[in-house]
Amino acid sequence: MSPALPEGDVAPDDGALPASAFEGSDERAFAVYLHVPFCTVRCGYCDFNTYTATELGGGASQHAYADTALKEIALASAILPPRPVSTVFVGGGTPTVLSVPDLARMLGGVRDAWGFADDVEVTTEANPDSVTPESLAALAGAGFTRVSFGMQSAVPHVLATLDRTHDPRRIPDVVRWAKDAGLAVSLDLIYGTPGESLDDWRTSVEAALATGVDHVSAYALVVEAGTRMAVQVRRGELELPDGDDQAAKYELADDLLEAAGLRWYEVSNWARTPADACRHNLSYWRGDDWWGVGPGAHSHVGGVRWWNVKHPRAYADRLDRGLSPAAGRETVTGDGAVLERLMLGVRLAAGLPLDALPTDARPSVAGLVADGLVDGHEAVGGRRLVLTRRGRLLADAVVRTLAG
């Protein structure tokens, strides 16, 4: 079960934004997120807003979904004037359960609505068992530039615990097919699965690196309430690793990735060069503007944040009636905006300028340096707050310290 939507103000039925949301828009990048809420199988750890094909019908079906999403894009284009889209990210769910023509139509809708920057980055997520050489070539032909494969692990028993259905031996093949199609490739990994040893994790990271990819994401498993895995943990069927285990796996991944020439640019992401970083996700961490299309998708424009109704049927129904699918919204200002900037910016290897910190937070930096959480050389010489590796492991604690 996906998490509940946040509480907020009632969003207007026409989706109109206050004039303040457009102030300074020329100085911010604009991104579009397209949510595809379908999977062939629901993984036991997943709490994303996704559904299997048999759970939905009517206007919420996979067959009708592209047309429904295009209705939201049309509504959005009437609210936001044309401005070059820097990045598009198609996530899910499993976007590649939709046909390439449907994905291409959705992408074309974004292009027609706002136009693309000359160097636009267009990413789709994909499960390794949901693509072929032909489908990847077709995605590249439709304008996609990048694919992010949900590898998660190279160890069969770990994949089985996660309810992942792909054969890990397929990973080198899909990476090669994508590269042959001219697509940049990222691999997503998960560490901290119940029953995963440190050697298992080493096997997964080394297998990812052996494919020659230029980008790897590695996320600690978080078991959310309401998921099947949470029930298994509560019943004692699975035992979660402790924090020391997850820390050791993060440090191992960082060692292996750095040795292979991939540098961290965000706490959970490594890239071979700055050009290989995911620019779409950087837009989130930098506080740029984005419009999220799809059920449960979140958007942010000029400090105004809103979120769509979660269920695909409710989403389709509102759009069919000419209404915005937004369920609620909020305007982030004052202390809330400062805290958000800290939470996001501190995760980046580029760090935060010390003069961007609240005045009353700056005396805390010396203590964070003394505790080995913040790079002292960067703080003194570069006047920037940059996390050490230990600081990356304790990033939330750093933010709490700075926020007072």
Q: Which domains does the chain have, with CATH numbers?
A: 19-286 (3.20.20.70), 333-404 (no CATH)
Give pLDDT, residue 59.
56
**pLDDT for the residue numbered 135:** 97
What is the percentage of the chain residues whose pLDDT exceeds 70? Answer: 96
Residue-wise pLDDT for 162-172, tens only, equals 988 889 999 99
Q: Are 341 and 287 in contact (CB under 8 A)?
A: yes
Q: Comparing 145-149, 206-210, 241-245, which segment has the lowest mean pLDDT? A: 241-245
pLDDT in tens, 337-395: 888 888 899 999 999 999 888 888 899 999 999 999 999 999 998 899 999 999 999 99
Of 230, 232, 201, 226, residue with least CA distance to 216: 201
- Overall average pLDDT of the 12-18 stretch: 94
Q: Look at strands 289-293 and 30-36 and give their pairing.
A: parallel
